[in-house]
Structure 1
Amino acid sequence: MLAVAQIDYIRHEVNEKGETYASVGRRMGVDPRTVNKYANQEEFKRKEKQKRKSPVMDPVKPILDKWIKEDLNKKRKYHRTAKRMFQQLEKFHSFTGSYRTVRDYVSRRKQELKETTVDAALPLESFPGTAQVDFGTAPFKYQSEVIELPYLVMSFPYSNSFYFQVFPSENTECLLEGLQQMFHYMGGVPKTIRFDNLSPAVKKIRARGERDLTDTFDRFVLHYGFSYEFCNPGKGNEKGHVEAMVKYVRNNFLLPENTILDLDQFNKTLWKLAEEDRSRPHYEKDIIQSKLYEEEKDSWLVLPEKEFECARYQDIKADKYGMVTIDKKQYSTSPRFAKQKVSVCITYNTVLILNDNNEVIVKHSRLYGIRRKSMIWQPYLDLLSKRPRAIKYSSLYDQFPAIWSDYLIDCTEEEQKSALRLLGELLKSEDFSLLNEALQVASMHGHPSVEQIKHCFYTLLNQDTPHTTIMPNMSIPKVPEITRGLSHYDSFFQKEDGY
Structure 2
Amino acid sequence: MLAVAQIDYIRHQVNQKGETYANVARKMDIDPRTVTKYANQEEFLVKKAQKRVSKVMGPVKPIIDKWIHEDLKKKKKNHRTAKRMYEQLVKFHCFKGSARTVRDYVSKRKKEIREYIDGAALPLETMPGTAQVDFGTAPFLYQSEVIDLPYLVMSFPYSNTFLFQVFPSENTECLLEGLQRMFRYMGGVPKTIRFDNLSPAVKKIKGKGQRELTDTFERFVLHYGFRYEFCNPGKGNEKGHVEAMVKYVRNNFLLPECVVIDLDHFNQTLWQLAEEDRCRPHYLKQELQSKLYKEDQKEWLILPEKLFECARYQEMKADKYGIINVDNKEYSTSPRFAKQRVKICISYNSIIVLNKDNEVIVTHSRLYGVKRRSMIWQPYLDLLSRRPKAIKYSSLYDQFPEVWTTFLNNCTEEEQKDVLRLLGKLLKNNDFTLLNEALNLASVHGHPSTDQIKHCFYSLLNQGESHVAITPRNKVPIMPSVIRGLTHYDAFFHEGGVGE
- Give the conservation status (yes or no) of the 8 Å contact 1:224–1:303: yes
The aligned counterpart of 1:424 is 424
CA–CA separation in structure 2 for the residues paired with 1:382 and 1:441: 25
1:305-349 deviations in whole A, cap 9, x for unaligned? 211000001111111211111111111111111111111101000
The aligned counterpart of 1:194 is 194
The aligned counterpart of 2:262 is 262
> Secondary structure in 2 aligned to 1:128?
coil
Query: What letter matches 2:186 in structure 1?
Result: M
- Residue 250 of structure 1, CA deviation: 1.0
- Residue 427 of structure 1, CA deviation: 2.3
- Give the conservation status (yes or no) of the 8 Å contact 1:131–1:157: yes
The aligned counterpart of 2:396 is 396
Distance 1:387 1:83, change over 3 A: same
Query: What letter matches 2:241 in structure 1?
Result: H
CA–CA separation in structure 1 for the residues paired with 2:392 and 2:481: 71
- Give the conservation status (yes or no) of the 8 Å contact 1:348–1:366: yes
Instruction: State yes or no: 1:319 paired with 2:335.
Output: no
CA–CA separation in structure 2 for the residues paired with 1:448 and 1:47: 108
Instruction: State yes or no: 1:291 paired with 2:291.
Output: yes
The aligned counterpart of 1:451 is 451
- Residue 460 of structure 1, CA deviation: 5.4
The aligned counterpart of 2:178 is 178
- Residue 81 of structure 1, CA deviation: 0.5
CA RMSD of aligned residues (A): 2.6
The aligned counterpart of 2:104 is 104
The aligned counterpart of 1:34 is none
1:354-388 deviations in whole A, cap 9, x for unaligned? 11111211111111111111111001013433555
- Give the conservation status (yes or no) of the 8 Å contact 2:190–2:301: yes
Distance 1:117 1:46, change over 3 A: farther
The aligned counterpart of 2:346 is 346
Query: What letter matches 1:286 in structure 2?
Result: Q
- Give the conservation status (yes or no) of the 8 Å contact 1:354–1:360: yes
Distance 1:114 1:440, change over 3 A: same
- Give the conservation status (yes or no) of the 8 Å contact 1:82–1:103: yes
The aligned counterpart of 1:15 is none
> Secondary structure in 1 aligned to 2:299?
coil
Distance 1:47 1:343, change over 3 A: farther
- Give the conservation status (yes or no) of the 8 Å contact 1:121–1:127: no
The aligned counterpart of 2:167 is 167
Instruction: State yes or no: 1:157 paired with 2:150.
Output: no
CA–CA separation in structure 2 for the residues paired with 1:165 and 1:122: 29
1:91-116 deviations in whole A, cap 9, x for unaligned? 11121122111111111111111222
- Give the conservation status (yes or no) of the 8 Å contact 1:386–1:417: yes
- Give the conservation status (yes or no) of the 8 Å contact 1:56–1:96: yes
CA–CA separation in structure 1 for the residues paired with 2:466 and 2:297: 57
The aligned counterpart of 1:490 is none
- Residue 409 of structure 1, CA deviation: 4.5
- Residue 134 of structure 1, CA deviation: 0.5
1:171-223 deviations in whole A, cap 9, x for unaligned? 00000000001111111111100000001000111111111110000000001
- Residue 143 of structure 1, CA deviation: 1.0
1:386-407 deviations in whole A, cap 9, x for unaligned? 5556535865323334543444
The TM-score, its normalising length taken from structure 1, stands at 0.80
The aligned counterpart of 2:223 is 223
Distance 1:57 1:174, change over 3 A: same
Output aligned runs, 1:452-491, within 5 Å: 452-459=452-459
CA–CA separation in structure 2 for the residues paired with 1:359 and 1:47: 77
Query: What letter matches 1:149 in structure 2?
Result: L
- Residue 438 of structure 1, CA deviation: 3.7
Distance 1:243 1:93, change over 3 A: same
The aligned counterpart of 1:114 is 114
Unmatched 5+ stretches in structure 2: 1-44, 471-479, 484-500
Query: What letter matches 1:256 in structure 2?
Result: P
- Residue 458 of structure 1, CA deviation: 4.4
- Give the conservation status (yes or no) of the 8 Å contact 2:378–2:430: no
Output aligned runs, 1:90-101, within 5 Å: 90-101=90-101
The aligned counterpart of 1:492 is none
- Residue 425 of structure 1, CA deviation: 2.5
- Residue 284 of structure 1, CA deviation: 1.3
- Residue 452 of structure 1, CA deviation: 1.7
Instruction: State yes or no: 1:207 paired with 2:207.
Output: yes
CA–CA separation in structure 2 for the residues paired with 1:149 and 1:120: 38
The aligned counterpart of 1:76 is 76
The aligned counterpart of 1:131 is 131
The aligned counterpart of 1:248 is 248
> Secondary structure in 2 aligned to 1:132?
strand
Distance 1:450 1:48, change over 3 A: farther
- Give the conservation status (yes or no) of the 8 Å contact 1:321–1:394: no
The aligned counterpart of 1:435 is 435
Query: What letter matches 2:70 in structure 1?
Result: E
- Give the conservation status (yes or no) of the 8 Å contact 1:56–1:97: yes
- Residue 457 of structure 1, CA deviation: 3.6
> Secondary structure in 2 aligned to 1:320?
coil
- Residue 281 of structure 1, CA deviation: 1.1
- Residue 423 of structure 1, CA deviation: 1.2
- Give the conservation status (yes or no) of the 8 Å contact 1:120–1:127: no
Distance 1:467 1:406, change over 3 A: closer
1:70-109 deviations in whole A, cap 9, x for unaligned? 0000000110011111111111112112211111111111
CA–CA separation in structure 2 for the residues paired with 1:273 and 1:140: 17
CA–CA separation in structure 1 for the residues paired with 2:46 and 2:209: 37
CA–CA separation in structure 1 for the residues paired with 2:84 and 2:333: 57
- Give the conservation status (yes or no) of the 8 Å contact 1:333–1:353: yes
Q: Which moved more, 1:449-458 or 1:327-336?
A: 449-458
- Residue 55 of structure 1, CA deviation: 2.0
The aligned counterpart of 1:281 is 281
Instruction: State yes or no: 1:377 paired with 2:392.
Output: no
- Give the conservation status (yes or no) of the 8 Å contact 1:376–1:430: yes
CA–CA separation in structure 1 for the residues paired with 2:302 and 2:46: 40
Unmatched 5+ stretches in structure 1: 1-44, 473-481, 486-499
Query: What letter matches 1:111 in structure 2?
Result: K
- Residue 441 of structure 1, CA deviation: 4.6
- Give the conservation status (yes or no) of the 8 Å contact 1:194–1:231: yes
The aligned counterpart of 2:19 is none
